[in-house]
């Protein structure tokens, strides 16, 4: 099994001309995509490296995300200052941002209208020219049914713990795949962040919200991404102690949509197809976890174990998410009505 081999942080900094370390680098995340906080003679930085050997189109994907990030910065989206984006250093790609002292988003933070306005700005950006041709389909986890079945069979042959759940979930994956195709077909495409999770919103010392971590940025469908943000940030607002509630908080959902509409975002339909990016992201995460667990991607032993543990819960959860669609659509309809009422 191949293991990720990445250069030493001092080698990265020297290659990029970011000075010498003033103190030992702090490892924020280890593994195939390590992240450091560094203090050098040139300042404080957030450094992230991506292994370059296991995905032929990774360079193009990161080039597309860099293109979106630069366009978002020019459009006034509040984010960390990029210093280096998608630079090749030996066998990896490296991205560096100025370090910002801040804290993670809290459940009680009044972030929702800001997020809606930010989404409306993002959705004025053109789709990136550098992203791979299959970037939208890949992001939405769209793969032939035969591929899903083959991965489940391979897992069974390797006696991986998630293999029985994968076999049972193949029919649900087909349903989710059909929902995603229905939602994204014929829709306008922009360039956007595509990973609007609570951990990607930073609160700086002045209380300002910053949208960070643009590694998944690329082609997106505006209304579908908005609905997905309502689900992810709305569920975070309704949770406590790091957990998410099952459904979005009603006030948070209405706040995101209100900010979006007031800033010029255009609403779309509210039906199962509106959840296409939500389910597409789920399918994308499941398929990637399968590849890691099966050894189709360069990874560490710990990453393969984590992927298997994720699949143990994510596969059966897909059916529960599909069953919840009517209730989710009702909630979104009410939140949209509240947002429109406040706008009027």
DSSP states of 34-83: -EEEEEETTEEEEEEEEE-SS-TTHHHHHHHHHHHHHHHHHTT---PPEE
The second-level CATH assignment, the architecture, of 103-343 is Alpha-Beta Complex (3.90)
pLDDT in tens, 157-179: 999 999 999 999 999 999 999 99
What pLDDT does 32 receive?
Answer: 87
What pLDDT does 5 receive?
Answer: 56
Q: Is the pLDDT of residue 202 over 90?
A: yes
H helix or E strand, kind and range, residue 136? helix 135-139
User: Residues with Cβ < 8 Å from 133, sequence gap 6 or more?
Assistant: none
What pLDDT does 55 receive?
Answer: 64
Single out the residue of 91, 66, 71 nearest to residue 4, CA to CA: 91
Q: Is the pLDDT of residue 260 over 70?
A: yes
- Same fold across 9-101 and 103-343: no
Q: Is the pLDDT of residue 6 over 70?
A: no
User: Residues with Cβ < 8 Å from 326, sequence gap 6 or more?
Assistant: none
- Find out whether 177 and 166 touch, Cβ atoms under 8 Å: no
User: Residues with Cβ < 8 Å from 171, sequence gap 6 or more?
Assistant: none
Q: Is the pLDDT of residue 3 over 70?
A: no
User: What is the biggest distance separating any 2 CA atoms in the chain, rounded to whole angstroms?
Assistant: 59
User: Residues with Cβ < 8 Å from 257, sequence gap 6 or more?
Assistant: 116, 226, 230, 267, 335, 336, 338, 339
List helix spans (H) across 158-245: 163-184, 222-237
Q: How far is it, in rounded angstroms, from Cα 142 to Cα 1?
A: 26
For the entire predicted model, the pTM comes to 0.94
Task: Please give the sequence-ordered ranges of beta strands (E in DSSP) within 77-220, or none if there are none.
Answer: 82-89, 92-98, 102-104, 190-192, 201-204, 209-211, 218-220
Q: Where are the chain's structural domains?
A: 9-101, 103-343
pLDDT in tens, 118-167: 999 999 999 999 999 999 999 999 999 999 999 999 999 999 999 999 99
The second-level CATH assignment, the architecture, of 9-101 is 2-Layer Sandwich (3.30)
Q: How far is it, in rounded angstroms, from Cα 151 to Cα 161?
A: 13
Q: Is the pLDDT of residue 244 over 90?
A: no
Q: How far is it, in rounded angstroms, from Cα 94 to Cα 222?
A: 28
What separation in angstroms does the CA of 147 have from each of 133, 142, 152, 153? 20, 10, 9, 10
């Amino acid at each position: 099994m191949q293991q990720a081999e990445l250069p030493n942080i001092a080698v990265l900094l020297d290659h990029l001309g970011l000075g010498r370390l003033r103190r030992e680098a702090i490892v924020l995340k280890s593994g195939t995509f390590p992240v450091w906080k560094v203090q050098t003679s040139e300042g404080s930085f957030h450094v992230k490296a991506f292994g370059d050997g296991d995905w032929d189109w990774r360079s193009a994907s990161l080039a597309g995300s860099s293109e979106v990030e630069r366009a978002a910065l020019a459009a006034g989206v509040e984010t960390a200052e990029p210093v280096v984006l998608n630079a090749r250093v030996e066998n990896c790609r490296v991205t560096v941002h100025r370090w910002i002292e801040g804290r993670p988003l809290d459940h009680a933070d009044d972030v929702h209208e800001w997020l809606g306005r930010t989404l409306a700005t993002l959705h004025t950006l053109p789709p990136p020219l550098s992203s791979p041709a299959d970037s939208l389909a890949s992001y939405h986890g769209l793969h032939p049914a035969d591929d899903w079945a083959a991965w489940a069979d391979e897992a069974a042959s390797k006696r991986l713990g998630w293999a029985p759940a994968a076999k049972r979930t193949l029919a649900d994956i087909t349903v989710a795949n059909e929902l995603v195709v229905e939602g994204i077909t014929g829709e306008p495409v922009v360039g956007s962040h595509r990973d609007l999770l609570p951990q990607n919103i930073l609160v700086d010392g002045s209380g300002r919200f910053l949208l960070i971590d643009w590694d998944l940025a690329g082609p997106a469908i505006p209304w579908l991404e908005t609905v997905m943000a309502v689900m992810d940030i709305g569920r975070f607002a309704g949770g406590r102690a790091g957990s998410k509630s099952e459904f979005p908080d009603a006030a948070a959902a209405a706040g995101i949509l209100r900010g979006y509409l007031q800033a010029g975002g255009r609403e779309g339909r509210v039906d199962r197809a509106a959840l296409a990016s939500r389910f597409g992201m789920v399918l994308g995460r499941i398929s990637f976890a399968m590849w890691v667990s099966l050894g189709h991607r360069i990874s560490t032993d710990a990453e393969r174990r984590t992927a298997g543990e994720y699949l143990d819960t994510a596969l059966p959860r897909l059916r529960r998410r599909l069953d919840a669609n009517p209730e989710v659509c009702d909630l979104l309809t009410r939140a949209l009505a509240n947002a429109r009422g406040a706008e009027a």
